[in-house]
Amino acid sequence: MGVLVVAALCLHGATAQLCEDYYNSTCPDAYDIVKQVLIEAHQSDTRIYASLTRLHFHDCFVQGCDGSLLLDGVPGLINSEKGALPNNGSARGFDVVDNVKTALEAACPGVVSCADILAIAAEISVELVQAYILHSGTLKTVDFDGANNLPAPFENLTVLQSKFKAVNLNDVDLVALSGAHTFGRVQCQNVAAFPADRLYNFSGTNMPDPTMDSAYREFLSQRCPRNGDGRVLNDLDPTTPDTFDKNYYSNIEVNRGFLTSDQELKSSPEAQGTTAPIVDQFATNQDAFFASFAQSMINMGNIKPLTDPSQGEIRINCRRLN
Ligand code: HEM
Ligand SMILES: *[C@@H]1O[C@H](CO)[C@@H](O)[C@H](O)[C@H]1NC(C)=O
Ligand SMILES: *[C@@H]1O[C@H](CO)[C@@H](O)[C@H](O)[C@H]1NC(C)=O
Ligand SMILES: *[C@@H]1O[C@H](CO)[C@@H](O)[C@H](O)[C@H]1NC(C)=O
Ligand SMILES: *[C@@H]1O[C@H](CO)[C@@H](O)[C@H](O)[C@H]1NC(C)=O
């Protein structure tokens, strides 16, 4: 794991509130407290760093980083984002978020927002050396439809670009953030079943996705037989499944991206001259990937909630409104 340095990112003013020492005076141990809980969780769950990184993404992309993803459903009142298609049976790590919140409440009651917990947890999870801490509001709303509109694994480059553009993220952000698929797990249904079938019936052709390496296809077909259990887990990066490195890009270079949305970054006709050269660069230059990833995580963490954060609240329990 290389050293990522995010220096001088304390941006003041109305447009940005990212500041690595945001909690210095109100909860000086926040970062260490989160880190301790994560290290403990990781002892029995090697996947947890990946899962928490994904939660931050799914929080920020839906009406900004507001912690709304963490709210449990309340019949007639809250249609939890946890039930939306990209999250249901897939998003995980909520119990660890609870443990982080409990530890933070014990140290500094009512200070650290649930959205910031996800941001800090994601940051620690990818072991950025210097802290960046996002201050964002905690809204009282959920956005179930927005959660259903998250980027999907079967979408083409044009659609992915437009979904990132909608939250002010560019091609470098798209390619760099997708690099989070260097760790974590993915269910068979995302490569072997409609509408994401790349192994048996790609885009209704009754043929495999021609952009997938044939040896990799055979490997995945063993693990994910046609009409098999769609929930079986696979490594997103079979080369180094739990290491945060550039192998996500090296895999794509040899047509071993797992998802359509991964391989599109290199293989789509639209990728030529746009995202493909960025994949090429990161595949050969890990430092360039790390530098871009750190910046793009900040860009993503800076996606603003739609409503004035001061309208929100610091929840005592991330699952419920106070
Ligand atoms: C570009 C659009 C993206 C698409 C279409 C996408 C889609 C997916 C899918 C389908 C899975 C597997 C879920 C499952 O099988 O349960 C997954 C896992 C994951 N994604 Fe993404 N993703 C995208 C971008 C991102 C971004 C921006 C991040 C974070 C910066 C991220 C981080 C992760 C991680 C770490 C996992 C593994 C989670 C775990 O093991 O619990 N993804 N993604
Ligand atoms: C905040 O804390 C960090 C880490 O302890 C320290 O490096 C930094 O100088 C502090 N900033 C302020 C403004 O106190
Ligand atoms: C989530 O998945 C479970 C199990 O497949 C299902 O019973 C439930 O209805 C789903 N929730 C939503 C909101 O679709
Ligand atoms: C990408 O997908 C969208 C939605 O399915 C479709 O309208 C569009 O034609 C596709 N673009 C390319 C270049 O394949
Ligand atoms: C392949 O997919 C198409 C469209 O998604 C569907 O109409 C067709 O029935 C599928 N073929 C098989 C053999 O399942």
Sign of the dihedral through C-alpha 198, 152, 117, 125: positive
Best residue among 9, 22, 24 to mutate for probing ligand 2, ranked by most atoms within 8 Å of CB: 24
The number of the ligand nearest the C-alpha atom of 272 reads 4
Q: Do 56 and 149 form a contact (C-beta atoms < 8 A)?
A: no
Going along the chain from its start, the domains and CATH numbers come out as 8-150+301-311 (1.10.520.10), 157-296 (1.10.420.10)
**Is 181 labelled as part of a ligand binding site?**
yes
- By annotation, the residues acting in catalysis are 58
pTM of the prediction?
A: 0.91
The pLDDT assigned to 165 comes to 97
Distance 201 CA to ligand 2 centre (A): 55
Q: Of 222, 232, 156, which Cα lies nearest the Cα of 190?
A: 232
Helices (H), 108-244: 114-125, 144-148, 157-165, 171-178, 189-192, 214-223
Amino acid at 108: C
At 294, list the tokens.
Answer: 């750190």
Distance (Å, whole) CA 48 – CA 153: 21
- 240-253 residue pLDDT tens: 999 899 999 999 99
Q: Count other Cβ atoms within 10 Å, centred on residue 39.
A: 12
Tell the residue nearest (CA) to atom 13 of ligand 2: 21
The number of the ligand nearest the C-alpha atom of 226 reads 5
Does residue 24 line the site of ligand 2, with CB under 6 A?
Answer: yes
The CB-based long-range contact list for 267-273 (8 Å cut-off, 24+ gap) reads 267/211, 268/156, 268/157, 268/158, 270/156, 270/157, 270/158, 271/157
Q: What is the dihedral of CA 195, 53, 145, 236, to 10 degrees?
A: 0
Residue ranges in the chain whose pLDDT is less than 50 = 1-18, 128-140
- 3-class SS of residue 116: helix
The pLDDT assigned to 263 comes to 98
Best residue among 74, 78, 85, 88 to mutate for probing ligand 3, ranked by most atoms within 8 Å of CB: 88
The pLDDT assigned to 20 comes to 55
CA-to-CA separations, 287 to 41, 106, 291, 305, in angstroms, rounded: 28, 38, 6, 31
Q: Is 113 exposed, middle or buried (0-12, 13-18, 19+ CB in 10 A)?
A: buried
Q: Is 215 exposed, middle or buried (0-12, 13-18, 19+ CB in 10 A)?
A: exposed
